[in-house]
Amino acid sequence: MYGIINQSIQDLVVKEFGEETWLKIIAKSRIDVHEFQNHQVYDDAYTYRLAGAVSEVLQTDLNTVLKMFGEFWILEISMKKYPSMMASGGLSFKEFMLNLPNFHNRVYLTYPELIAPEFKVRMDGDSMLVEYHSQRPGLTAMMEGMLHGIVKMFKEQGILIVLEAEKISSDLDHDLFRIIWEK
């Protein structure tokens, strides 16, 4: 993955838990890179090892770490570093989600070697179904955190995000989320 992902893990840890905690995480992860370059592609193993080390050092389960990172990615990285790209996604949560399948097309202009996820989004009566197709394993909780981040970005209330089926434990080749608007 591009270095911006690993840099953002560092930003999250330093902001929320301090520099010393980050140094512990770097030591624990035993990786040979200490400064990630935004636009350089790194083996995915760096990201997985960093996330694992965050989980160990903070004594928090990995899915909680991934969820926290997903929300941070939307609210603190995407919105602050790429405000116009985020604004072009739509004016409401619903509109942004319906446009999500095309979102990373714009990201390719900045990150041409991106291996982006694929999304399929459709209304199902009053609720919305969101398919998350990924070539990478184990990132379901990160996606869930991102969805919560998008809800918060629009400051909308009464939206529930339900993980309806997981690729790992179903016949599906993707994760499936249902978005419910509380009446």
- Establish if 136 lies at the interface with ligand HEM (CB under 6 A): yes
46 binds ligand HEM (CB under 6 A): no
111 forms part of the interface with ligand HEM (CB under 6 A): yes
* Residue reference for tokens 């929320």: 16
Among 43, 57, 67, which Cα is nearest to 136's?
Answer: 43
Paired with 165 in beta bridges are: 176
* Residues whose CB is less than 8 angstroms from the CB of residue 137 and which lie 6 or more positions away in sequence, other chains included: 168
- Single out the residue of 119, 132, 130, 133 nearest to residue 160, CA to CA: 130
Q: What is the Cα 97 distance to its own chain's centre?
A: 14
Tell me which H or E stretch contains 52: helix 44-58
Binding residue for ligand HEM, selected from 117, 131, 141, 175, defined by CB under 6 A: 117
83-102: which residues touch ligand HEM (CB under 6 A)?
Answer: 85-86, 100
Q: Which stretch binds ligand HEM (CB under 6 A): 6-14, 27-35, 106-114, 163-171?
A: 106-114
Q: Which is nearer to ligand HEM, 23 or 79 (CB)?
A: 79
Rounded-to-integer distance, Cα 165 and Cα 160, Å: 15
Q: Site for ligand HEM (CB under 6 A): which residue of 12, 54, 68, 143?
A: 143
Determine the interface stretch with ligand HEM among 20-28, 32-40, 103-111, 172-180 (rule: CB under 6 A): 103-111
In the complex, the residues that contact ligand HEM under the rule CB under 6 A are 1-2, 4-5, 78, 82, 85-86, 100, 103-104, 107, 111, 114-115, 117, 134-136, 139, 143, 146
